[in-house]
Structure 1
Amino acid sequence: MTLFDHQTWRQWQKIANLIIILILSTIFLSSCGFNPSANNQSRLVQAILSDPKTFNAVLSQESPNIFGLTYEGLVSENPLTGEIQPALAKSWTISDDKLTIIFTLKDDLKWSDGEPLTVDDVVFSYNQLYLNEEIPSNARDSLRIGQSRAFPIVEKVNNSQVKFTIPEPFAPFLESAGLSILPKHILAEKVTTKGADGKPIFLSFWGVDTPPDELVVNGRYKLKNYATAQRVIFTKNPHYWQKDEQGNSLPYIEEVVWEIVESTDTSIVQFRSGSLDSISVSPEYFSLLKREENRGDFTIFNGGAAYGITFLSFNLNQGSRNGQPLVDPVKSKWFNNVNFRRSIAYAINRERMINNIYRGLGEAQNSPISVQSPFYDPTVISYDYNPELAKELLLKEGFKYNSENILLDAENNQVRFTLLTNAGNRIRESLGSQIKQDLSLIGITVDFTPIAFNVLVDKLSNSLDWDAHIIGFTGGNEPNGGANLWFPDGNLHLFNQKPQPGRPPIQGRIIADWEAKIGDLYIEGARELDIEKRKEIYAKTQQLAQEYLPLIYLVNPYSLGAVRNRIEGVEYSALGGAFWNIERLKITDN
């Protein structure tokens, strides 16, 4: 053994530390899949909180998903104007009776594998995928028309035109043509071929274990690489149809990287360190980031009230599966008592949420329709914080308090339930923690449990094993986009879910009168073409939703996003965010 004097030891220690740093840097860069010498002007780096659940656009039920980058439909919505604009279709004509629409496709469309994209792909996507009862799809509910719940008839006219025919006028008709078009030459056999369980093998096709080069898309980007719990990398689709005014192929940005981070805190750290190009700004970090705009060379955009809804919901399903109640009958009796739900609404201090969690950057939410939508009803019922009224409602329904101010029901059962949300979403975790505190003030014990997002989705849609949850849905200008939430047989009717295709049946499921009424009003609103009359119809849906509270709305935050100034062409909006026109954005040196 050789001995070193103290000075020599310190010199060797410095060298060793440098070696360790170099090794760790190499490992980091390697794990990122990044080449340090790569041109950063061609790469956009963003963050998402959880892994994609599927690469099959028809089966997708959650966000984040890859399909906004990888697929397009016949039309799209301009988030700045709300207007429907051409995408794969270059034009369309609507018949005088409003029952037929003929789309004409753009010329020379191709899939990412170079195969032609044709009218046959459009007809296949609608008839064999979205309208196929054997394939569960959230899109199907938005295609149902009128009281008969009939679907449109989709037919090929010729090699460039496709015709949609409906049984009665349908106001959101044009918007429904925005569904992703998928490749018939890849998927047709997967739909017709049945597995050992008798179901189409399409249901297990294009899962997240699919090699990226096997995914065939028509959007701006195609999948290049996916590493679980690490990142998703997209690369420019060489066969994408859009070109700029000079005839250059779009998009300009060659690669898009989604870093999968464990929490919003981690994404903030990464953005501040410069490793992310953009981030959704949560209210808790707004002040910090605002002070750093100049130093960090980025801009915070404010699009006003965000689209979408954030809510607490109880499991109102009174049915049983395999002889076992989906919800503990004791709890089910509480949850299905409308005054119990109203007491919860009054007991939640939303102003405290706005001030403490949202840092003043939000407003109380009272409607399932986004406040920026022309169909939003500003007169809808609100539930201002009033814990004493909450207690009165509970006592009126036979609940009582013991000597320790713990709430009991009429049979002396302690009122206690489990509240779920997706782990890693700091805002929702904070909302759940506050709700736990607020409800303790009226004697209710809440077991707040954040869980992995994919596990939560499975509980809500498949096992139906849950008491209450906090979750959010995206939104838009057209109310019919939320039809699958409000139709009793809708695929996202989470508070009283029907069994999904392939799942065991449910016995004894009950549809409340108000629940059926809201569904009927959504049918009526979609068939009405007069805009003012449509507003009146959807106002009724909002009033019923607030009167019976299947969803207890929380806070509508402002839509805030931070984007590096080296990204040119950003036109921020609450509906589309910063990257709705990503194909025309450029990354340049400042």
Structure 2
Amino acid sequence: MERLQEKRLLQELMRGRLSRRQVLRRAAALGVSASAMSALLAACAREEATPAASPTAAPPAAGTPAATPTAAPAETPAGTAELGPATFQYEEPRNKGGTLIEGSFADAKTLNPILVSDTASGAVSDLIFNSVIRVDPQTTEPVGELADKWEISDDGLIYTFTLRDGVTWHDGEPLTADDVKFTYDLFMNEATGSPRRAEMTERIKTVEVVDERTVRFTLNFPVAPFLVEQMVYGIVPQHVLQDVDPAQLAQDPFSTGQKGRTIGTGPFMFEEWVKDDHITLVKNPNYWEGEPNLDQYIWKVVPDATVVAQQLKTGEIDYGDIEPSQLEDMRLQPNVNIYKYDTFDFTFYAYQLDPEKTTIFQEKEVRQALLYALDRQAMIDAIRFGIGRVAVGTMPVMSWAYNPDAIQNKYEYDPERAKQLLDQAGWTPGPDGIRQKNGQRLAFTIYTNAGNKIREQYVAVFQEQWRQIGVECTPQTEEWNAFLDRITGTKDFEMFLVGFSWGVDPDQSTMWKCSAYEGGFNMNKYCNPEVDQLLDEALRTTDQEQRKELYTQMQNILMEDLPSAILDFPQALSVVNKRVHNLFPNDVDDRYNAHQWWVES
């Protein structure tokens, strides 16, 4: 059952027209297993662009964020649109009231945070509910939301949280530790059907109420990312749901949307849901961080990316994502700010390392030569319209484990070095210019999914640039389901190109561990016990600097072995109407300060 659910989620993510913000929310919503779902295959809308022309006391809640070092502004636009600031800049509200409308490709499926497994549901429920911990979008560090402070035992097994005083549900009832325990009991109850159950039960041993404001979690083993992976889900009210059969929770009006029953502790309260059209929320005047500035927030379903862009221009929606191909036109609009920012997404190709399927990539010199032969910066400039970064190592720029200066093999474009490596490995040019060794030609097929314009262009560049070093590559595109089955089911490939998305925590076990070949996303049968050891040690080490060093060691092994080639980290583009203030698009959590959003009258 878990494997079927995992495959269904992969289908939605890799094929869907999802923004990176939305994918991240879905990433937080997935919990098929700790090993399988710490990273998600991503097929974002920006990948579908039109082809290019040629102890911890909790820090303050994230309402007053620090400056971010990672957001990247777009270049100076040619027209009259303005750049969104690269760091959050709080503006004292000059107006109270009004409505903010966000455009989305999809409608929600549920409003219950325990059951969320889709993008839209997570985005809306984030405004209704609060979690014990939230991830600071500037630092990617855990900060207290409902928790005022927390303590971690020396052995890393016991987490004790103290809840903020004075937090109330939308109906006025006080939040207590019983609500937290009740919520996590539902997460781990098989009858509930939560997509996070497997990971929760794997990691959490017990949840105990110490007193009205204190709750204690005991783990089965130390988990370094416990705060940012298990404690970031919305808490639900025990007094509303205690008499509901967990097996009927999905059908209860609390989950499907009923004014007065769908209640949380968040900045906005549920008002109305017109299926496949919009969801309306109204401000919570008693919100614990302060009364929100907006009167209303509307999640508007706009299923076409072109229509989203058009409605951003006309002002019919205030906030939405655009594709790189739409950037130049959007720059001409006088009423918007454009934000370009780093993401956890990446594009990669994987070599088949199972010798029973092919022997062509068994030598690391061949794998290394192919990456040296690619001009990745030129590909980003020409195909992604410059909206992305060349990957250095396996960690995204957003990660606290990003350490590019310590990466030994950066694989900068060097076709001569590529030829030397192939020569050293004994692959010599044949009569037709294609290299051969022991009667075998250095020729193979690379698969990707049909209709993904960026990936189709990438493999065309591979074919051309690899030919220049004496390698024959034949691109092959397949309909999505067939492609997915090839790379995750039969694993019948020589090479494939696809997208992935790391989580906020830098654990990458699901792609690199030997055991991840069955049930994870190690689809090419890479196995290095030294990498396994480093990943295991890092996952159980709570000291961040130690973890960073372990992940740097891991990356240097991976960049030498090169079982897969991480090519780039695409950036995202979001557009916000100039009448909207204090909304800061980012790849971690753009809702962290929703109570501070305000619009001009």
Query: Structure 1 length normalisation: TM-score?
Result: 0.66
Matched-pair contact (CA < 8 Å) for 2:345–2:569: yes
In structure 2, distance between residues paired with 1:300 and 1:119: 42
Q: Deviations over 1:336-385 (max 9, x none)?
A: 55444323322322021133134445432122222243322222121122
Q: Deviations over 1:12-68 (max 9, x none)?
A: xxxxxxxxxxxxxxxxxxxxxxxxxxxx952413244x7879988678777x45314
Measure how far apart 1:249 and its partner are.
Answer: 5.7
In structure 2, distance between residues paired with 1:545 and 1:141: 26
Matched-pair contact (CA < 8 Å) for 1:154–1:163: yes
Q: Is residue 277 from structure 1 mapped to residue 289 from structure 2 by the alignment?
A: no
Matches within 5 A, 1:375-394: 375-378=401-404, 379-380=406-407, 381-394=409-422
In structure 1, distance between residues paired with 2:427 and 2:567: 25
1:585 aligned residue: 597
SS of alignment partner, residue 449 of structure 1: strand
Matched-pair contact (CA < 8 Å) for 2:388–2:571: yes
Matched-pair contact (CA < 8 Å) for 2:346–2:566: yes
SS of alignment partner, residue 131 of structure 2: coil
Matched-pair contact (CA < 8 Å) for 1:567–1:586: yes
2:380 pairs with one of 324, 342, 354:
354
Shift of the 186–172 alpha-carbon distance from structure 1 to 2, 3 Å rule, reads same
Matched-pair contact (CA < 8 Å) for 2:102–2:320: no
In structure 2, distance between residues paired with 1:314 and 1:187: 48
Shift of the 211–132 alpha-carbon distance from structure 1 to 2, 3 Å rule, reads closer
2:102 aligned residue: 45
Shift of the 470–576 alpha-carbon distance from structure 1 to 2, 3 Å rule, reads same
Matched-pair contact (CA < 8 Å) for 2:444–2:472: yes
Matches within 5 A, 1:220-259: 220=268, 224-227=273-276, 233-236=278-281, 242-243=287-288, 245=290, 248=291, 252-259=295-302
Measure how far apart 1:576 and its partner are.
Answer: 3.8
Which structure has more RCO (C-alpha within 8 Å, separation ≥ 6)? 2
Q: Deviations over 1:64-96 (max 9, x none)?
A: 453143144211022134443232334434446
1:521 aligned residue: 534
Q: Is residue 69 from structure 1 mapped to residue 124 from structure 2 by the alignment?
A: yes
1:161 pairs with one of 214, 232, 238:
214
Shift of the 226–313 alpha-carbon distance from structure 1 to 2, 3 Å rule, reads farther
1:507 aligned residue: none
SS of alignment partner, residue 522 of structure 2: helix
Measure how far apart 1:564 and its partner are.
Answer: 0.8
In structure 2, distance between residues paired with 1:396 and 1:483: 32
Structure with bigger gyration radius: 1
Matches within 5 A, 1:415-494: 415-421=443-449, 423=451, 427-441=454-468, 442-449=470-477, 451=479, 467-476=495-504, 478-480=505-507, 482-489=508-515, 493-494=520-521
Matched-pair contact (CA < 8 Å) for 1:313–1:470: yes
In structure 2, distance between residues paired with 1:335 and 1:216: 55
Matched-pair contact (CA < 8 Å) for 1:252–1:583: no
State, as a whole percentage, how many aligned pairs show the same letter. 21
SS of alignment partner, residue 175 of structure 1: helix
Measure how far apart 1:314 and its partner are.
Answer: 2.1
Query: Partner amino acid for 1:242?
Result: Y
Q: Is residue 78 from structure 1 mapped to residue 91 from structure 2 by the alignment?
A: no
Shift of the 249–283 alpha-carbon distance from structure 1 to 2, 3 Å rule, reads closer
Matched-pair contact (CA < 8 Å) for 2:387–2:572: no
Q: Is residue 537 from structure 1 mapped to residue 580 from structure 2 by the alignment?
A: no
Shift of the 154–556 alpha-carbon distance from structure 1 to 2, 3 Å rule, reads same
Shift of the 53–461 alpha-carbon distance from structure 1 to 2, 3 Å rule, reads farther
Query: Partner amino acid for 1:42?
Result: T
Query: Partner amino acid for 2:227?
Result: L
2:578 aligned residue: 565
Shift of the 435–174 alpha-carbon distance from structure 1 to 2, 3 Å rule, reads same
In structure 1, distance between residues paired with 2:155 and 2:258: 45
Q: Is residue 552 from structure 1 mapped to residue 565 from structure 2 by the alignment?
A: yes
Measure how far apart 1:473 and its partner are.
Answer: 0.7
In structure 2, distance between residues paired with 1:133 and 1:412: 55
Measure how far apart 1:430 and its partner are.
Answer: 4.1
In structure 1, distance between residues paired with 2:115 and 2:307: 30
Matches within 5 A, 1:246-325: 248=291, 252-261=295-304, 267-280=308-321, 282-290=323-331, 292=332, 295-303=333-341, 306-314=342-350, 316=352, 318=354
SS of alignment partner, residue 260 of structure 1: coil
Shift of the 444–235 alpha-carbon distance from structure 1 to 2, 3 Å rule, reads farther
SS of alignment partner, residue 411 of structure 2: coil
Shift of the 83–386 alpha-carbon distance from structure 1 to 2, 3 Å rule, reads closer
SS of alignment partner, residue 555 of structure 1: strand
2:86 aligned residue: none
SS of alignment partner, residue 302 of structure 2: strand
Q: Deviations over 1:78-115 (max 9, x none)?
A: 21344432323344344466542222345787888999
Q: Deviations over 1:99-152 (max 9, x none)?
A: 4222234578788899997645544554564697997957966997xxxxx645
Query: Partner amino acid for 1:570?
Result: L
In structure 2, distance between residues paired with 1:237 and 1:473: 33
Measure how far apart 1:494 and its partner are.
Answer: 1.4
In structure 2, distance between residues paired with 1:90 and 1:241: 18
Query: Partner amino acid for 2:225?
Result: P
Shift of the 474–496 alpha-carbon distance from structure 1 to 2, 3 Å rule, reads closer
Query: Partner amino acid for 2:132?
Result: L
Matched-pair contact (CA < 8 Å) for 2:514–2:522: no
Matched-pair contact (CA < 8 Å) for 2:428–2:437: yes
SS of alignment partner, residue 242 of structure 1: coil
Matched-pair contact (CA < 8 Å) for 1:309–1:475: no
In structure 1, distance between residues paired with 2:467 and 2:109: 35
Measure how far apart 1:489 and its partner are.
Answer: 4.5
SS of alignment partner, residue 257 of structure 1: strand
SS of alignment partner, residue 296 of structure 1: coil
Query: Partner amino acid for 1:162?
Result: V
In structure 2, distance between residues paired with 1:336 and 1:131: 45
- 5+ unaligned residues in a row in structure 2: which ranges? 1-96
Query: Partner amino acid for 2:122?
Result: F
1:17 aligned residue: none
Matched-pair contact (CA < 8 Å) for 1:315–1:495: no
1:322 aligned residue: none
Q: Deviations over 1:430-452 (max 9, x none)?
A: 43443344345443333343755
2:89 aligned residue: none
